[in-house]
């Protein structure tokens, strides 16, 4: 059974997609063992509690220095016993010591088809604003492994989503979530949980 820790900063819609997929059997041989947020107000923590999953807040403010925050975040992940760390709308730049400790075991969902509209400064609505400004006809989402760069790790899965006439960043964001993010992230976790069964 693959133990998964989900890191979130906000509402946790991707977390909800994961929890639903575990409950309906679309994610097999995996369980969410902790939800960790850097934001004490994150609704994702409530979602975790409703599902009986430990909800942990590690806030930079409470920790003081960056180093103390990095250590506290690493400790929270280790304490959860997680085999896989999933970044689901996590706005924290993952510290190098965590990447080294969990190399090849951290995945992130990004709301574009990498290498388009990714890297430093591209997160949340900013990604969709940039896609609309550029006039692309197709966007989407990417699940990738996390390395020391921003959105630079090996790509695991991608799914394209059509950009429609009259889209606003908010409408496009919602479509990318519904058609790509909420499909890909559960699929990626299921893949990783079940390839280990074979090997």
Active site positions, annotated: 110
* Rounded distance between C-alpha atoms, residue 193 and residue 96, angstroms: 24
Q: Which two tokens stand for residue 185?
A: 């992230």
* Rounded distance between C-alpha atoms, residue 189 and residue 86, angstroms: 8
161-168: long-range pairs with CB below 8 Å, 24+: 162/137, 162/138, 163/131, 163/132, 163/136, 163/137, 163/138, 163/139, 167/132, 168/132
Q: Which two tokens stand for residue 109?
A: 């969902």
* Rounded distance between C-alpha atoms, residue 184 and residue 28, angstroms: 14
* Rounded distance between C-alpha atoms, residue 198 and residue 99, angstroms: 25
Q: Are 27 and 21 in contact (CB under 8 A)?
A: yes
Q: How many residues does the chain have?
A: 199
């Amino acid at each position: 059974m693959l133990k998964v820790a989900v890191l979130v900063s906000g509402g946790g819609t991707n977390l909800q997609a994961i929890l639903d997929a575990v409950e309906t059997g679309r994610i097999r041989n995996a369980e969410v063992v902790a939800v960790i947020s850097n934001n004490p107000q994150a609704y994702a923590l409530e979602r975790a509690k409703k599902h009986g999953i430990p909800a942990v807040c590690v806030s930079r403010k409470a920790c003081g220095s960056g180093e103390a925050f990095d250590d506290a975040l690493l400790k929270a992940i280790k304490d959860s016993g997680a085999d896989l760390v999933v970044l689901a709308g996590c706005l924290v730049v993952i510290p190098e010591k965590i990447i080294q400790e969990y190399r090849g075991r951290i995945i992130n969902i990004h709301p574009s088809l990498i290498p388009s509209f990714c890297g430093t400064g591209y997160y949340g609505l900013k990604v969709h604003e940039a896609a609309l400004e550029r006039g692309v006809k197709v966007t989407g989402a990417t699940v990738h492994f996390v390395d020391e760069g921003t959105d630079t790790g090996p790509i695991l899965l991608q799914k394209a989503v059509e950009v429609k006439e009259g889209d606003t960043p908010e409408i496009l964001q919602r479509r990318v979530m519904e058609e790509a993010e909420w499909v890909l992230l559960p699929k990626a976790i299921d893949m990783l949980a079940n390839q280990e069964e074979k090997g």
